[in-house]
Structure 1
């Protein structure tokens, strides 16, 4: 590493500056009017530029700015607020001739021949730099960085060709990560589309009839939840002091149900409760847990665990009968026809509430159990693809973090 140079951020920068906004602020771009004005909201927590919903400033204001006009590959860093230190690299979108930053961002530009912009971005987005920057943030009510922070951020700088090679490798992984994320989004959209289609049309049905929920297959019925669930019971109320690490039961809250309608069993808290109370409320395999306060209608199927589980007092336990596959019902609850019904029943207030008695009035298009099972299998297949892609994303994020540490510190060298 003898050819690497120990220096500071200040020594390699040609430009560090902020932008500005006109009095009265900026507006969300309307029909591409005005000049884009990027702010902290356009940088994600993991270092991506967010080019949708970019605010704009008037053309005449942008043309009068002496600072904060962006060049392609500028490195941007959030200089104040709760997310101070967020970093991204600006890649000028096609058709964007002029763009600016507001007063909440620093624009960083390296001296020619000293440092590579892509290398600088990857360094500032690594733990090596983040740990240093975190120590330089001042203020508690409104944390922030001033332009002098560059004097105290140390950087080990390899020769320019090696910088470019390191940046190329890390940017390649970023591109792979971006493609995986895009694939996950497409699969999630496909899943929602399939849910809305299969829940109302089924598999290989050709004759349809009119119903109050729209056209459904001729051999399907419209039934109430009370026809397919034998019971709906709220979880028990108990004092917060009953939560205990050595508890004998786990209590599912709204925050324990994930966006994908699954239960995060690991985070469900333990409580120490009377055995009779547990026995009266204990969930069985296949029961549905539905949240009835705040996140009204958010639901999941309970799968048997090695310790008893119950619903919280702000959720109900739905016990299915033999007419319904619980997973079919969960997919139904993700459909538009279910969401519209739930919204009609929700009592609006300081905190939204969905009465259990109204839950039993929800109407569902119901095929025979055999077709329900087929629909569930089709949708489970899509979920497996999403799960596989999420695991692949996790692996590549870990790889990126590991490689960043090794390459940017010089612990692992690259051939140029």
Structure 2
């Protein structure tokens, strides 16, 4: 056994720590009903199971407190510094039993409360079951130090979120201006889309490209063990365009691979199916990046094949496929309820304005530069999120003591 550690039912923990039931640490209480018609604008946060939704003129719980979903959205945990009104779809921390509030927030965050949800239709969190969960509890001074370290990482993530919001807002404004007014134009003409720069043309997507369907790869050859072939699915598409990787769920392929369905670097693909509730993936584009594995062209993904590469820049098209009018068209024309679908015919019907090729290059370069800045911020955020998860796992079990963790943060 390590020095300064003791063996418990939760494994080795520091000798000064105790193993207790959660009810000995904090008490969860159901929130309060407040019908919409009785809500009056004020300064006190109204918190639902999915977070803050509004402000009210009265409060029910004195801050600071911690709120989590009781019904509907389960697993998210919110720290509220101020007096607030937790709604009846939530549980809030009624008693903290002399423990440090911020530490308790991270403790609940680490519990993965989803595992305690019950019910098939609308998931529900039973506080009595959660109260029986065993946790390792450090003395108050160490709680405060642990909370300070983890809060420092949260603050860094918050700064990045603010930078992301501002850069994304900048991109939205640039897209609106560049994709409708172009660069430096003083003469405009009327068109079916309204006023566009003189020298631009109006086309349907069907005039400009075709979509090749993907291949139905055999399900029995799917694996989560990384290999040469990565199987793209609609889940790999970012709502704002581009590819994202969820490595814990990522699919690879071990079966026969037709060479015609291996995607070349630089290829443009489109999501033809969307499982998200808000339908924010349907029609989303992605350009295949250079990587140390091969991307497979799966079914329900459309591969863009230009009719004339001297007429259309592939990166300009990528940004057009991220533009609000097209994405609105996708949502308005979708089929299906639980799973949304589109078709090549529907995509071909979209009408767009097209600058000359040289101007397309210029517009694409400007927007790609902003995208690169956004990606840097996303990568930075992912780094701190990974650091936070690792620190929580180590600090909340006593495997990493606070003095060492402080060195990690400062490094």
Alpha-carbon spacing, 1:19–1:83, altered in 2? closer, same or farther (3 Å): closer
Is the CA contact 2:232–2:298 (under 8 Å) kept in the aligned structure 1? yes
Summarize the Cα distance change of 1:5–1:271 in structure 2 as closer, same or farther, 3 Å threshold.
closer
Aligned to 1:300: 286
Look up the match of 1:194: 174
- What aligned pairs does 1:17-416 form with structure 2 within 5 A after superposition? 17-21=29-33, 26-27=35-36, 32=41, 38-42=47-51, 51-53=52-54, 69-79=60-70, 83=74, 86-92=76-82, 99-102=85-88, 104-111=90-97, 114-126=98-110, 130=111, 137=116, 141=120, 144-147=125-128, 149-150=130-131, 152-160=133-141, 162-229=142-209, 231-236=210-215, 240=219, 252-264=232-244, 267=250, 269-270=252-253, 272=255, 275=258, 278-279=259-260, 283-294=263-274, 296-303=282-289, 311-320=297-306, 321-342=309-330, 346=333, 348-349=335-336, 353-410=341-398, 411-414=400-403
TM-score, structure 1 length as denominator? 0.72
Q: Do the aligned partners of residues 395 and 212 (structure 1) sit closer, same or farther apart at CA in structure 2, a change above 3 Å counting? A: same
Contact 2:32 2:85 in 1 (8 A): no
Check 1:205–1:399 CA distance in 2 against 1; reply closer, same or farther (3 A cut): same
Structure with a larger share of its residues in strand:
2
Does the 8 A contact of 1:223 with 1:366 survive in 2? yes
Aligned mates of 2:291, 2:387 — CA distance in 1:
33
Structure 1 residues 90 and 282 mapped into 2: Cα distance closer, same or farther (>3 Å)?
closer
Q: Which residue of 2 aligns with 1:47?
A: none
Check the 8 A contact 1:79/1:106 in 2, yes or no: no
In structure 2, the residue corresponding to 1:316 is in which secondary structure? strand
> Could you tell me how far apart the structure 2 residues matched to 1:184 and 1:202 are?
25
* Unpaired runs of at least 5, structure 2: 5-13, 275-280, 407-411
In the TM superposition, what is the alpha-carbon distance from 1:72 to its structure 2 partner?
0.7
| Distance across 2 between alignment mates of 1:297 and 1:234 | 14
Q: Which has the larger radius of gyration?
A: 1
d(CA) in 2 for partners of 1:310, 1:75: 44
Kindly tell me: are residues 119 and 286 of structure 1, through their superposed partners in 2, closer, same or farther at Cα, counting changes over 3 Å? closer
Distance 2:131 2:221 in 1: 50
Q: Deviations over 1:331-385 (max 9, x none)?
A: 11122333355567x3645565544245334333222222212211111111111
CA contact (8 A) 1:75 1:121 kept: yes
Q: How far is 1:254 from its partner?
A: 3.0
What residue in structure 2 maps to residue 45 of structure 1?
none
How far off its partner does 1:228 sit?
3.1
Alignment RMSD: 4.1
Deviation digits for residues 155-175 of structure 1 (CA, Å, limit 9, x no counterpart)? 333244x44343333223222
Alpha-carbon spacing, 1:388–1:290, altered in 2? closer, same or farther (3 Å): closer
- Identify unmatched segments of 5+ residues in structure 1: 43-50, 63-68
Aligned residues: 376
Per-residue deviation, residues 15-60 of structure 1 (Å, max 9, x unmatched)? 65333437xxx33886617986534222xxxxxxxx2347x7x97x
Asked if the contact 1:74–1:109 (Cα under 8 Å) also holds between the matched residues in 2, the reply is: no
Distance 1:223 1:33 in 2: 50
Q: Is the 8 A contact 1:7 1:157 kept in 2?
A: no
Secondary structure in structure 2 of the residue aligned to 1:260: coil
Q: Which moved more, 1:369-378 or 1:326-335?
A: 369-378
